Amino acid sequence: MTYKFEFRPLARKFLRSLTTSHGNWDIRESIIIRLIDDAARMGFGEIAPISWFGSETLTQALDFCHQLPQEITAKEIFTIPDDLPACQFGFESALEELATKGNNQCPMPHAQCPMPNAPCPMPHYSALLPAKQGALNAWQNLWEEGYRTFKWKIGVDAIAQELAIFDLLIRSLPDTAKLRLDANGGLNYSEAQLWLENCDKFSEKMEFIEQPLAVAEFAGMLQLSQMYKTAIALDESVATIAQLKAAYQQGWRGIFVIKPAIAGSPSKLRQFCRQYNIDAVFSSVFETAIGRKAALQLAAELSQHNRALGFGTNHWFEQQEDTWLESLW
Ligand SMILES: O=C(O)CCC(=O)c1ccccc1C(=O)O
Ligand SMILES: [Mg+2]
C-alpha cells in the first residue's frame, strides 16, 4: 500500500510571548502532513519540533519532507531515523489516523476505565500560567473554567522576586488546587534546594518541580528527588524515547514528563510505557488540534497515575475556527 504524501508549513502567533528560562517564544511553527490512501481516505499528522528541547529543528523537518517522494509506504514511515523524533510522531500518527478511521473506539483499556458504561469522563488538564507576576491574576479565570492544576514557569527572573510571587500565588490558590513549577533547567543546585525548601512548606498544594537543573545535572536531580517532600519531574532530560530509557536505566523512579509530539515513534513510546510502569505526566508542545489529538490519544492509553495532563494551553492562542485545516489545502 502506498500513500500520497503532502505537507504544509504553519505559523501561529502566541497571544503573549511565552517566557521560559530558555528565552522568549513568540511564534509556534509546525508542519501539517496529509496521507491519502488508495480509497481516498485522509490521515493528518503534525510535526511540531522544539530544537531547544533536543528534537530536530523545523528546518531539518522541512528538509526531510522535501526529500520524500510524493508516494510513500508504511515501511518508510517506520524507518524514519531517531534523530527526527517529531517527524516520527507526525508521520506515524497520520498513519494511525488512517488505520483507525471509522473505528471511533475509546483508547482506554476497558479494564482500566472507571466508568465502563458511560461516555468517557473528561481527563483533567493543567493550565499553563504566564511567567512572573502575570500568574497572580491569571489563575482565577482558569479556575472558573474548571482547571484545578496550574503550572508556573520559574528560573526566568531574580530568585528572590520569584520566591515572593510564589508565596503570594500559592497562598491565594484555593485548598483544592495543585501547583506545578517548571524551571526548564534554569536553576543551579543551591537555588533548587531553596525552591524545594519553600515548596515543602506548602506540600498539600505542591504537585512537583519540573526539570530544576540542566540536562547534564542528572545526578543532582536524582539526589534532590530523595531529599524533599516535593517531587521532581524530569522534562528536558527525557525529551526523547532514548532519553526516557536512559533515565530509567540510571535509576530515575520519579515523575517523567512525556511530550508525545517530540518523544518520537508512538509505537515505541507505547512499548516503553507498557513495559515499565512509569509515573508519566503528558504534556503539550503547543501543537495544533491535529498533533493534540494524537498526543491525547497516547496520554489516554498510557497515563497511569491520574495526573492532570499538561494540555491546558489553548488560552495561549486565539481560538481557531474549525475551518483552518481546509484553508491549508
Ligand atoms: O506541560 C504543560 O503543562 C504545558 C506545556 C509546557 O509547559 C511546555 C510547552 C512547550 C515547550 C516546553 C514546555 C515545558 O514543559 O517546558
Ligand atoms: Mg517543562
The per-residue pLDDT for range 44-70, each reduced to its tens digit, is 999 999 999 999 999 999 999 999 999
Average pLDDT over residues 82-101: 95
**Cell digits for 127?**
493550565
Tell me how far the alpha carbon of residue 236 lies from the centroid of ligand 2, in angstroms. 7
H/E stretch holding 158 reads: none
Q: Which of 55, 292, 313 to mutate to test the pocket of ligand 1 (most atoms within 8 A of CB)?
A: 313
**Rounded distance between C-alpha atoms, residue 85 and residue 127, angstroms:** 26
Residue 110 banded pLDDT, cuts 50, 70, 90: low
**Rounded distance between C-alpha atoms, residue 156 and residue 212, angstroms:** 12
Residue 304 banded pLDDT, cuts 50, 70, 90: confident
ipTM score of complex: 0.99
CB 155 less than 6 A from any atom of ligand 1: no
**Cell digits for 18?**
511565552
Residue written as cell 504544509?
Answer: 8
Residue 303 banded pLDDT, cuts 50, 70, 90: confident
Q: Atom 16 of ligand 1 has which residue's CA nearest to it?
A: 184
CB 230 less than 6 A from any atom of ligand 1: no
Average pLDDT over residues 28-40: 97
- Nearest ligand to residue 285 Cα: 1
Sorted by where each begins, the domain ranges of the chain are 2-99, 110-316
Query: For residue range 227-282, what is the model confidence (pLDDT) as tens digits?
Result: 999 999 999 999 999 999 999 999 999 999 999 999 999 999 999 999 998 999 99
Average pLDDT over residues 96-120: 61
pLDDT, position 120: 43
Query: What CATH class has 110-316?
Result: alpha beta
Average pLDDT over residues 144-169: 97
**Cell digits for 273?**
510505557
Nearest-atom number in ligand 1 for the CA of 50 is 11
* 203, pLDDT greater than 80: yes
pTM (two decimals): 0.93
Average pLDDT over residues 287-313: 93
**Cell digits for 223?**
539526589
pLDDT, position 106: 53
pLDDT, position 306: 83
Looking at 3.30.360.10, 3.10.180.10, 1.10.530.10, 3.30.390.10, the CATH number of the domain 2-99 comes to 3.30.390.10
Average pLDDT over the chain, rounded to an integer: 93
Average pLDDT over residues 12-37: 96
Q: Which residue has the higher pLDDT, 72 or 322?
A: 72
CB 307 less than 6 A from any atom of ligand 1: no
